[in-house]
Structure 1
Amino acid sequence: MVGLLCVAGSALCSGSAVVLQAVAVRRLPHDTGLGSTLARRLLTSPAYLAALVLVALGFALSFVALRTLPLFLVQAGRASGLAVAAALAVLLLGARFTGRDAAGLVALGAGLVALALSVASAPVAAPAAGVPLGLLGAALLLGVVAWRVAARPPATRTGLALAVMAGCGYALLALAAHVVDPTRPVELPADPALWAGALGGCLALALTALALRRAPVVPVTAATVATETCVGALLGLVLVGDRALPGRGLLATVAFVLVLAGALAVARFGSPESLAEPEPVTAQG
């Protein structure tokens, strides 16, 4: 029960952070790259700082949930944060629901209930030898590729590529949190999975900001959420043996698809349409 409550809390935090991030990045110049200028601009934005606090809190809650729940359930729960973003957009920004949005929320809710019924709390299985080091290698490779893509001229296609890579970064962070053993604090600094998660998370935050400034927020949000949810779930199944309860594998699969489809249906609420466009800003530094 504690794990499921943490998943719900994480969804609330991540959904709220989506709206705040969208507000903050609209003031970035379109040609901002992956470097110190990006960090300086974002860290002087109150909206983005508030989003970071919520992201950190949401991750902490996810970390607790990952001690006893499979990664595919926690990832699906995080994806449901888009429903929170939808509610905030309606209540605070004057956005309106459509029939598609309502159907998406129903699918999302039904999928979450079914997922909760398909799993039981259990200790995390130890990863196979080499998995933590492999995660660190994947995070470093992601950083190199992301740097090269971010250096390209601003374009919608580039923004979507950055969104997919941001989703991969979040997935690496989630898997690292799943396999790190917090009961051995003395050994944590030497755990490659810890550093892989830190690098993946930092990359994901920066790449999300760049993607939101280079491409429409709806496809960016959808690409990031879909990649994070599916890649994270797949890594959990393949690398650490996450499984549903015996006889409930089909239920878990259908539920996962419902949550993902519902989240993507309401992905447009990551882009508050009622916000005015900012004054043009030119990149400096």
Structure 2
Amino acid sequence: MTVGVIAAVVAALAFGTASVMQAHAATRASIDASPLAAMIHPVFLAGMALDAVGFVCTAVASRTLPLFLSQPIISSNLLVTAVLAAVVLGVTLSRRDRFGIAVAVVALVILGLTAGAEGRDDPGLALHWGLLVAGVVLLSGGLVAVAAGGRRTALPAAMVSGVLFGLMTVAVRVVDGVDPFRLGEILTDPAAYAVVLCGAGGFYLFTAALQTGAVAGAAAAVAVGETVIPGVVGAVLLGDSARAGWGPVMVIAFVAAIGGAVVVALSDVVAAVE
């Protein structure tokens, strides 16, 4: 479990720093321009390199920790974003911001203490195919929303992006042929293609949401989607569980961690990275 926790923390640090860099680059492009214009900005590319580090660490954490523990830790990248913006940009953290950070940190510590062993259940190909099909449907809807243009596309694009990231995390957890490594199994597993589709699609839609300047709302929507979906699927379908007798405490801490992250996401400090 120690390796998984370290990987999740590194992922949070990488994603949090990358968000500041990507938001800076995305808002330099016109709202009417394609999100691809922002993606080729040098600062955005540097952020993408950090995202790659974060993705690898996310994969390690997702396969070694219960998803209700790994995802809140990774979603705490919003706390990193807020603190980094305060330090680098000189923005003052409000009382609400500090409260949100404190709640999230305490909740994450409690989750770590109450988490049991990672579940080993796998419903089989039905789940693997379901992840891929759901990813295709959601990505199609998100692309339609982005094509409509305007600032009103930010929230739906961000919401779909968050769910796609959540599906990607579940797909990473269940994909066959990883340990031990068997390339043939990976290439024939629909979950592997769900990882690629949901990851790339979620990244594109999040960029589109950032490009409208709605960083806070986009970050909050993504935090909820990429945390709740894997946490629920892990507990219901994959066998993730808390230590005996600590289930209610785990649920409260899980909700508190999400709430703290959303409070920080909606703060002026996160908006200051625009």
Tell me which residue corresponds to 2:7: 6
Post-superposition offset of 1:264: 1.2
For 1:52 and 1:6, the matched residues in 2 are separated by: 18
- TM-score of the aligned structures, taking structure 1 as reference length: 0.89
Contact 1:7 1:62 in 2 (8 A): yes
The answer (yes or no) to whether the contact 2:143–2:205 under 8 Å persists in 1 is: no
Q: Measure, in 1, the Cα distance between the counterparts of 2:52 and 2:232.
A: 24
Q: Which residue of 99, 106, 109 corresponds with 1:110?
A: 106
| Cα distance in 2 for residues equivalent to 1:236 and 1:170 | 14
- Report the equivalent of 1:23: 24
Shift of 1:215: 5.1
Instruction: Give runs of ≥4 in structure 1 deviating > 6 Å.
Output: none
CA contact (8 A) 2:146 2:157 kept: yes
State the Cα deviation string for residues 139-167 of structure 1 (Å, max 9, x = none).
111121112111113133x2101110010
Equivalences for 1:18-167 in 2 at 5 Å? Answer: 18-32=19-33, 37-39=34-36, 41-122=37-118, 124-156=120-152, 158-167=153-162
Q: Does the CA-based 8 Å contact 1:169-1:200 persist in structure 2? A: yes
Deviations 1:169-221 (A, max 9, x none): 10111111111130233310111001011100111111011111225221121
Give 5+ residue unaligned stretches, structure 2.
none
SS at match of 1:266: helix
Q: What does the per-residue CA deviation read over 1:225-251, in whole Å, with 9 as the maximum and x for residues that have no partner?
A: 112211221222233232222211111
**1:161-200 map, 5 Å:** 161-181=156-176, 182=178, 183=180, 184-200=182-198
Q: Structure 1 residues 215-224 or 160-169, which shifts more?
A: 215-224
Q: In structure 1, what is the Cα distance between the partners aligned to 2:74 and 2:205?
A: 18
Figure out how many residues of one structure are paired with residues of the other and give that number.
268
SS at match of 1:236: helix
Aligned to 1:66, what secondary structure does the other structure show? helix
- Report the identity percentage: 34
Structure 1: any 5+ residue segments left out of the alignment? 276-285
In structure 2, relative to structure 1, the CA distance for the partners of 1:86 and 1:215 (3 Å cut) is: closer
RMSD: 1.6
Q: Which amino acid aligns with 1:18?
A: S
Within 5 Å, give how 1:230-241 maps onto structure 2: 230-241=228-239
Amino acid at match of 1:137: V
The separation in 2 between residues aligned to 1:177 and 1:236, in whole angstroms, is: 12
**What letter matches 1:10 in structure 2?**
A
Counterpart of 1:186 in 2: which secondary structure? helix
Question: Corresponding residue for 1:270?
Answer: 270
1:208 pairs with one of 203, 206, 210: 206
Q: Which amino acid aligns with 2:58?
A: S
One-letter identity of the residue aligned with 1:106: A
Question: Would the aligned equivalents of 1:22 and 1:272 in 2 still touch at CA under 8 Å?
Answer: no
Aligned to 2:252: 254
Structure 1 counterpart SS, 2:64: coil
SS in 2 for 1:187: helix
What's the secondary structure of 1:8's corresponding residue?
helix
* One-letter identity of the residue aligned with 2:35: L
Amino acid at match of 2:172: A
Distance, in Å, in 2 between the alignment partners of 1:26 and 1:12 is 22
Residue 50 and residue 127 in structure 1: after superposition, are their counterparts in 2 closer, same or farther (change >3 A)?
Answer: farther
Cα distance in structure 2, aligned partners of 1:98 and 1:124: 42
